[in-house]
Amino acid sequence: MENNIQPLDPIAISLGPIQVHWYGLIIGVGIALALIIAMREGERRGLPKDIFADLMLWAIPIAIISARIYYVIFQWDFYSQNPGEIIKLWNGGIAIHGALIGAVITAYIFARKKKISFWQLADVAAPSIILGQAIGRWGNFMNQEAHGGEVSRAFLENMYLPEFIINQMYINGAYYHPTFLYESIWNIIGFIILILLRRANLRRGELFLTYVIWYSIGRFFVEGLRTDSLMLTDTLRIAQTISIALIIGALALIFYRRKTGLADARYLDKA
């Protein structure tokens, strides 16, 4: 049976020399949906109508570049020998932590320039960010990357996965953990939680920091299953190390901002 399994075509559209890959298309859909949700919520919170559209013009390209730079740095042994591969984003190889670093720095500078609260921007954007991540993981699925260790077909069938997912997890003669799916589901649950927490009227900044904590917990455990992790040492995974640091940092920020009175404003307060 396995001999007849063919992977899904990673190319969505091919017009002569022009090829549109599913990877980029799926990420684009995730970004577009995230932007729509953030813009609608931003208006309800009294933010300028086009504030997120303006932010995205800067944040998206910077996030993509920083995500790629982050990935290339930790895979320099390969890219130093194959510099032409550095620009081939359609083959995968961007790191979400790198993207978040670039996006957060951009958003902070943007908020300062526009004289609006960075924390309010971050809170409004938090559900959109994690939903975009949930969608984006399906780009990894199409590229047959970001998977876990080897498993049996029976293992996947016992998870009641659709046939197309099981078949796509058949890579080079073996089946693998669909870790892209685990993280996608975790992020969708996180999206629902963040939407519900809006009604709790948390202190400003805490919705975003809750996102950081939730995502980092899931990423820590999913990363432990993956076989393509970026490594800091032979045994230390970069994503797990950063996830722990982010959890500790987010909790410390919540405590510090409450203790010092920097978090007196609430989520439902108008801009």
pLDDT digits (tens, 9 = 90+) for 19-63: 888 988 999 999 999 999 999 999 999 998 899 999 999 999 999
Q: Cβ contacts of residue 100 below 8 Å, gap of 6+?
A: 63, 129
Average pLDDT of the residues in 252-269 = 91
Strand partners, 231: 237
Q: 12 with 22: CB under 8 angstroms?
A: yes
Sequence ranges of the domains in the chain? 2-259
CA dist 240 and 236 (Å) reads: 8
Q: What is the pLDDT of residues 110-123, one digit of tens each?
A: 999 999 999 999 99
For the annotated binding site, the residues are 137
**With bands split at pLDDT 50, 70 and 90, how would you rate the model's confidence at 18?**
confident
User: Per-residue pLDDT for 67 more than 60?
Assistant: yes
User: What is the CB-side half-sphere exposure of residue 223 using CA atoms within 13 A?
Assistant: 22
- In what side-by-side order are the strands of the sheet with 150-151? 150-151, 174-176, 170-171
Q: Which residue has the higher pLDDT, 127 or 76?
A: 127
Q: Is the pTM of this model over 0.75?
A: yes
Which pair of tokens denotes residue 50? 């086009």
CA dist 16 and 190 (Å) reads: 41
Q: 243 with 211: CB under 8 angstroms?
A: no
Burial grade of 77 (CB within 10 A; 0-12, 13-18, 19 or more): exposed
Q: Cα(first)–Cα(last) distance of the chain, in Å?
A: 60
φ, ψ of residue 116 in degrees (nearest 5): -125, 165
Question: What's the confidence (pLDDT) of residue 244?
Answer: 96
Q: What is the pLDDT of residues 196-221, one digit of tens each?
A: 999 998 999 999 999 999 999 999 99
Question: What's the confidence (pLDDT) of residue 1?
Answer: 57
Average pLDDT of the residues in 10-24 = 88
Average pLDDT of the residues in 219-247 = 90
Strand partners, 90: none
Question: What's the confidence (pLDDT) of residue 113?
Answer: 95
User: Per-residue pLDDT for 166 more than 70?
Assistant: yes
Cα-Cα-Cα-Cα dihedral of 165, 171, 177, 178, to 10°? -40
Average pLDDT of the residues in 136-148 = 92
